[in-house]
Amino acid sequence: MIKTTKFTEIHKSLNAKMVEFAGFTMPIQYPNGIIHEHNIIREKVGIFDVSHMGEFEVKGPDALNYVQKITTNDASKLVNGAIQYSAMCYQDGGIVDDLLVYRIAEDEFMLVVNGANIDKDWQWCLDNKAGLDVTLKNSSDIISLLALQGPFSRDTLSKLTDSDISEESQKYYSFQMGKVAGVDMIISRTGYTGELGFELYFGGDENTAKMVWDALMDAGKEFGIEAVGLGCRDTLRLEKGYCLYGNDIDHTTNTIEAGLGWITKINKGDFNGKEVILKVKENKPSRHLIGFIVAADKFIPRHGYEIFSGDKQIGHVTSGNLSPTLNKPIGMGYVTPEYREAGSSIEIAARGKRFPAEVIKMPFL
Average pLDDT over residues 273-282: 97
The string of pLDDT tens digits covering residues 333-349 is 999 999 999 999 999 99
The string of pLDDT tens digits covering residues 7-16 is 999 999 999 9
Vertex 318 angle, CA 314 and 322, to 5°: 110
**Confidence (pTM):** 0.97
Give SS3 for 216.
helix
Domain 54-137 has CATH 3.30.70.1140: no
Give SS3 for 219.
helix
What architecture (CATH level 2) is domain 8-51+142-238?
2-Layer Sandwich (3.30)
Band the pLDDT of 212: cuts 50, 70, 90. very high
Res 298 pLDDT > 90: no
Q: Where are the domains of the chain?
A: 8-51+142-238, 54-137, 286-365
Res 326 pLDDT > 90: yes
Average pLDDT over residues 55-76: 98
Sorted by sequence, the CB contacts under 8 Å of residue 283 that are 6+ apart come out as none
Instruction: Give counts: helices (H), strands (E), the chain.
Output: 8, 19
Res 297 pLDDT > 90: no
Res 131 pLDDT > 90: yes
Rounded to whole angstroms, how far apart are CA atoms 28 and 4?
A: 14
pLDDT of residue 274: 98
- Count Cα atoms within 13 angstroms, Cβ side, for 319: 23
pLDDT of residue 1: 85
pLDDT of residue 246: 97
Check residue 203 and report its DSSP letter: -
Res 107 pLDDT > 90: yes
Query: Is the distance from CB of 337 to CB of 288 less than 8 angstroms?
Result: yes
Kindly state which CATH superfamily the domain 286-365 is placed in. Aminomethyltransferase beta-barrel domains (2.40.30.110)
Average pLDDT over residues 58-75: 98
